[in-house]
Amino acid sequence: MPSSRDTLAQRLGLRADSAVLLVALTHSSYAAEHGCTSNERLEFLGDAVVDLAIADLIVTEYPALDEGSGSLVRSRVVNEEALAEAATRLDLARYLRVGRGEIKSRGLQRPSMLADAFEAVVAAIYLELGYDAARVFVCEILGADVAIAARDPDEVDPKTRLRQWAEASGLGTPTYSVSASGPAHATTFEAVVTVNGEARGVGHGRSKKSAESEAARAAWEGRGDA
Picking from 211, 208, 205, 185, the residue whose alpha carbon sits closest to that of residue 8 is 185
Find, among 30, 48, 47, the residue nearest to 38 by Cα: 30
Establish whether 119 is a catalytic residue: yes
Identify the active-site residue in 85, 102, 119, 128. 119
**Residue 47: helix, strand or coil by DSSP?**
helix
DSSP code of residue 206? S
Is 115 in contact with 96 (CB distance < 8 Å)? Answer: no
Identify the CA nearest to 2 among candidates 102, 83, 92, 90.
92
Query: Among 47, 85, 145, 214, which one carries the catalytic annotation?
Result: 47
Annotation says 152 is catalytic: no
Closest to 89 (Cα-Cα) out of 159, 11, 36:
11
Q: Which residues are catalytic?
A: 47, 119
